[in-house]
Chain A
Amino acid sequence: MKTAPALDVDGLLGDPRMRIIVCCGSGGVGKTTTAAALGLRAAELGRNVVVLTVDPARRLAQSMGLSELDNTPRPVVEYDNGGSLHAMMLDMKRTFDEIIEAHADPDRARQILTNPFYQSLSSSFAGTQEYMAMEKLGQLGRSDEWDLIVVDTPPSRSALDFLDAPERLGRFLDGRVLRLLVAPAKAGGRGAFKLLNVGIGMVTNIANKVIGAQVLKDIQTFVSAFDAMFGGFRERAEQTYKLLQAPGTAFLVVAAPEKDALREASYFVERLAEERMPLAGLVVNRVHRSPAADLSGARSTAAAEDLDRRGGHEVAAAVLRLHADRMRVATRERREQESFMSAHPTVPVAEVPAMPGDVHDLDGLREIGERLAS
């Protein structure tokens, strides 16, 4: 049986040089819970921690004392050793608004904030959430108030959106295409269009037909008001990107022991390597283990069949069958993990055994933290 190097969770959380931990992975694998449990454990180790989460389940949020989206770190717990945990939920629209307010003069800010195109961009553009999570991370990082920031990445269509979206929004906001649509003559893109035998008129014409003249006009107003801020967006996105590559950052890929989740985890590990982002390891949540793992599934099934033949011992037979079932699940999970390990033999792994119920208080989070670290 292959074994992966063990992930030293306490070593990671307790290392004073470690400033940012990013939890990523596909939806439904327990990312938010993992981020919260890590934050709590780091606080127990004496660090000042803030957990930045995006859209947590209601009860988990309540367990940390978060009842509303207010974009401000709220105290969750404080320890005698000086450690503390704060948590906040990202409000992407408010974060966007605040950036506008901070970087534009009041008149201009008002113009932008009331623009219908800006309003839909800031509340529903695919990628805004990811971008704003990065902005918030950058802000928290620059504030120097925290020893450690634990980030839970937004639930994306695919795990990779999280890395791509900020770049995409950045490219879009200061993009040539946008200017081209709005003011074709100024953009100097005539040559490119000529090469493709497409007239600029055609571009605006299509845009006009598809998205409508009003929207186009809103975009135009938005762009001219926003013009001075484009560069700043790009710059901050680049800064945050560099922050993610810096030595004080660690990525944890979170997965469940299922084929799909581990496949996503694999993509993510490869992608992080490509982007030269520091990967600390893989967390596999909800792993099914058996306290009676020495008794194999096959032997257990055979024993149950034997008892059936003899008659009597119904309870023992049922218990053996239940055990065999559990072992089958455990074996399959093991197999899925092994194929991940074969492809990524050096990635340290921490397994978190499945808990019988959902986690909705600090005790539950503490228990997950213990399981993570053991």
Chain B
Amino acid sequence: MSARDTDWDGVRLHVVTGKGGTGKTTVAAALALALASGGKKVLLVEVEGRQGIAQLFDRPPLPYEEKKIAVAPGGGDVHALAIDPEEAMLEYLEMFYGLRRAGKALTKMGVIDFITTIAPGLRDVLLTGKTTESVRRKDPSGRRVYDAVVLDAPPTGRVVRFLNVTTEVADLARVGPIRTHADMVRGVVASPETAVHFVTLLEEMPVQETLDGIADLRAEGLPPGGVFINMVRPEILPEETLEAAGEDRLDLDELIVGLKAAGLTDDAEETARALAAEVAEHAHRTRLERRERQTLAKADRPRYELPLLADGVDLAGLYELADTIKAQGAA
């Protein structure tokens, strides 16, 4: 176990979910970097066939193969894997039935695609199965191969069903390898080794989905993790100014004097009025954001705030987010 004291010591599978547009993949990648820092080995997994990880790290599309994609601060590696359900199915057939070649022939005929699509839940079991296998995998000396695995999971609306494999395949298989597989997944996913983190923005809909998602997880006996509040804008304005702007009584003359002092003398009055409108809108938004922050507190989960990267998410930005995650004790 690590000597560091983080909020998630002992957790080996970090599942990251969130509403579309909240930056789920970005946060998952930054979390993987943060977890790897200081000489750890972390696997970052994606399951939705979107190749989001490759795009984020500016790489060609990832094959179905664990590949190193980044070095963490202070040593440590992040590996990545894009799980494809068909490939996972073939691997599964080989593992349990020794059917590698036949499996390949069947793929050509569309049979594998067919089976992974028709049997409800099977697809999810294959995806979560591969993920949990990488969590449990050990090297010859008996040590876990990865210190942590970060799963960029389906969005909040689908995540509980995705993780809840045992119920999903209940009708499908009461006995046999699929069942064993599902039970193994459940054993990992429902254990203290797993935490399901939510990514949200300080906006009403994603916050509501986060709270609903946490409640749903709890109802199914799955372990909710932390809440990552993404794209938080810096608080630039002094509190009194914010308050004044919110009540539409920002001192326009003071602003004009300031603009002129800074050499913005042309149309200073017009500029000041336009800036005041901008500040008023900002104040309104800040008030709403504070309300959402309070709402999130109700979930009673650790919260982390990640700054909005004004220039967009690039590699440097990812490392910046990873630092922030570490500094707040999430990794």
The residues of A with any CB-CB pair to B shorter than 8 Å are: 26-29, 55, 57-59, 116, 120-121, 124-127, 155, 157-158, 168, 172, 175, 177-178, 181, 192-193, 196-198, 202-203, 206-207, 209-212, 215, 219, 256, 258-261, 263, 290-292, 294-295, 299, 303-304, 306-307, 310, 312-323, 325-326, 328-329, 332, 336, 356-358, 360
Q: Could you tell me if B262 and A28 are in contact, using CB atoms closer than 8 angstroms?
A: no
CB-CB under 8 A from B93, the residues of chain A are 206, 210
Chain-A contact segment, one of B62-70, B71-79, B131-139, B252-260: B252-260
Q: Could you tell me if A198 and B172 are in contact, using CB atoms closer than 8 angstroms?
A: no
Nearest B residue (CB) for A202: B102
Nearest A residue (CB) for B283: A356
Q: Shortest CB–CB separation between residue B237 and chain A, in angstroms? A: 5
Nearest A residue (CB) for B47: A157
Asked, given contacts A158-B49, A259-B312, A318-B236, whether A310 binds B121 with beta carbons under 8 Å apart, the answer is no
**Is B328 part of the contact surface with A, judged by Cβ < 8 Å?**
no
Q: Could you tell me if B312 and A323 are in contact, using CB atoms closer than 8 angstroms?
A: no
Asked, given contacts A27-B20, A172-B118, A292-B274, whether A206 binds B258 with beta carbons under 8 Å apart, the answer is no
CA A365 – CA B48 in complex, angstroms? 32
Q: Could you tell me if A219 and B106 are in contact, using CB atoms closer than 8 angstroms?
A: no
Q: Could you tell me if B157 and A55 are in contact, using CB atoms closer than 8 angstroms?
A: yes
Size class of the contact patch on chain B: 35 or more
CB-CB under 8 A from B157, the residues of chain A are 55, 155
CB-CB under 8 A from B203, the residues of chain A are 358
Chain B contacts with A in 69-124, Cβ cutoff 8 A: 89, 93, 97, 99, 102-103, 105-106, 108-111, 114-115, 117-123
CA A336 – CA B103 in complex, angstroms? 43
Q: Could you tell me if A28 and B20 are in contact, using CB atoms closer than 8 angstroms?
A: yes
CB-CB under 8 A from B312, the residues of chain A are 258-259, 332, 336
CA A219 – CA B120 in complex, angstroms? 12
Q: For B97, B122, B171, B255, which residue has the most chain A Cβ atoms within 10 angstroms? A: B171
Asked, given contacts A203-B106, A206-B106, whether A317 binds B21 with beta carbons under 8 Å apart, the answer is no
**Is B238 part of the contact surface with A, judged by Cβ < 8 Å?**
yes
Q: Could you tell me if B258 and A172 are in contact, using CB atoms closer than 8 angstroms?
A: no
Asked, given contacts A120-B171, A292-B275, A332-B311, whether A211 binds B122 with beta carbons under 8 Å apart, the answer is yes
Query: How would residues 203 to 231 of chain B score, 1 for a CB under 8 Å from any chain A CB and 0 otherwise?
Result: 11110100000000000000000000000
CA A209 – CA B209 in complex, angstroms? 38
**Is B142 part of the contact surface with A, judged by Cβ < 8 Å?**
no
CA A356 – CA B278 in complex, angstroms? 11
CA A177 – CA B106 in complex, angstroms? 11
Other-chain contact of A206, B102, B277, B310, B313 (Cβ < 8 Å): B102
Q: Shortest CB–CB separation between residue A233 and chain B, in angstroms? A: 15
Q: Shortest CB–CB separation between residue A267 and chain B, in angstroms? A: 11
Chain B contacts with A in 20-61, Cβ cutoff 8 A: 20-22, 48-50, 52, 55
Q: Shortest CB–CB separation between residue A226 and chain B, in angstroms? A: 13
CA A121 – CA B277 in complex, angstroms? 53
Query: How would residues 226 to 257 of chain B score, 1 for a CB under 8 Å from any chain A CB and 0 otherwise?
Result: 00000001101110010000000001001101
Nearest B residue (CB) for A315: B241
**Is B3 part of the contact surface with A, judged by Cβ < 8 Å?**
no
Give 9 closest A-B pairs by Cβ, nearest first: A316-B258, A28-B21, A27-B20, A28-B20, A292-B274, A303-B262, A313-B258, A358-B204, A328-B310
Chain-A contact segment, one of B6-14, B144-152, B173-181: B173-181
Q: Shortest CB–CB separation between residue B257 and chain A, in angstroms? A: 7
Q: Shortest CB–CB separation between residue A190 and chain B, in angstroms? A: 12
**Is B285 part of the contact surface with A, judged by Cβ < 8 Å?**
yes
Q: Could you tell me if B257 and A210 are in contact, using CB atoms closer than 8 angstroms?
A: no
Apart from A318-B236, A319-B258, what are 11 other A-B pairs with CB-CB below 8 Å? A27-B20, A28-B22, A121-B120, A127-B117, A158-B50, A211-B173, A215-B173, A219-B118, A307-B262, A314-B238, A318-B237
CA A210 – CA B171 in complex, angstroms? 13
CA A358 – CA B292 in complex, angstroms? 11
CB-CB under 8 A from A126, the residues of chain B are 117, 123
**Is B264 part of the contact surface with A, judged by Cβ < 8 Å?**
yes
Q: Could you tell me if B271 and A292 are in contact, using CB atoms closer than 8 angstroms?
A: yes
Nearest B residue (CB) for A305: B262
Q: Shortest CB–CB separation between residue B30 and chain A, in angstroms? A: 15
CA A170 – CA B313 in complex, angstroms? 40
CA A93 – CA B120 in complex, angstroms? 15
Q: Could you tell me if A124 and B121 are in contact, using CB atoms closer than 8 angstroms?
A: yes
Q: For B48, B119, B206, which residue has the most chain A Cβ atoms within 10 angstroms? A: B119
Q: Could you tell me if B259 and A209 are in contact, using CB atoms closer than 8 angstroms?
A: no
CA A203 – CA B119 in complex, angstroms? 15
Other-chain contact of A313, B122, B205, B262 (Cβ < 8 Å): B262
Asked, given contacts A155-B155, A177-B109, A307-B262, whether A209 binds B177 with beta carbons under 8 Å apart, the answer is yes
Q: Could you tell me if A319 and B262 are in contact, using CB atoms closer than 8 angstroms?
A: no
Q: Could you tell me if A27 and B258 are in contact, using CB atoms closer than 8 angstroms?
A: no
Q: Could you tell me if A325 and B234 are in contact, using CB atoms closer than 8 angstroms?
A: yes
Other-chain contact of B49, A59, A157, A193, A358 (Cβ < 8 Å): A157
Q: Could you tell me if A198 and B105 are in contact, using CB atoms closer than 8 angstroms?
A: yes
CA A174 – CA B255 in complex, angstroms? 71
CA A197 – CA B155 in complex, angstroms? 41
CB-CB under 8 A from B261, the residues of chain A are 306-307, 310, 312-313, 316
Other-chain contact of B278, A207, A304, A326 (Cβ < 8 Å): A326
Asked, given contacts A121-B120, A177-B114, A313-B258, whether A356 binds B281 with beta carbons under 8 Å apart, the answer is yes
Q: Could you tell me if B263 and A318 are in contact, using CB atoms closer than 8 angstroms?
A: no
Asked, given contacts A124-B121, A157-B49, A261-B21, whether A325 binds B310 with beta carbons under 8 Å apart, the answer is yes
Other-chain contact of A198, B52, B102, B237 (Cβ < 8 Å): B102
**Is B279 part of the contact surface with A, judged by Cβ < 8 Å?**
yes
CB-CB under 8 A from B55, the residues of chain A are 260, 263
CA A55 – CA B55 in complex, angstroms? 29
Q: Shortest CB–CB separation between residue A182 and chain B, in angstroms? A: 11
Q: Shortest CB–CB separation between residue A292 and chain B, in angstroms? A: 4
CB-CB under 8 A from A215, the residues of chain B are 119, 171-173
CA A228 – CA B99 in complex, angstroms? 36
Q: Shortest CB–CB separation between residue B232 and chain A, in angstroms? A: 12
Q: Could you tell me if B285 and A322 are in contact, using CB atoms closer than 8 angstroms?
A: no
CA A34 – CA B17 in complex, angstroms? 25
Other-chain contact of A323, B105, B106, B161, B275 (Cβ < 8 Å): B275
CB-CB under 8 A from B288, the residues of chain A are 356-357
Q: Shortest CB–CB separation between residue B67 and chain A, in angstroms? A: 22
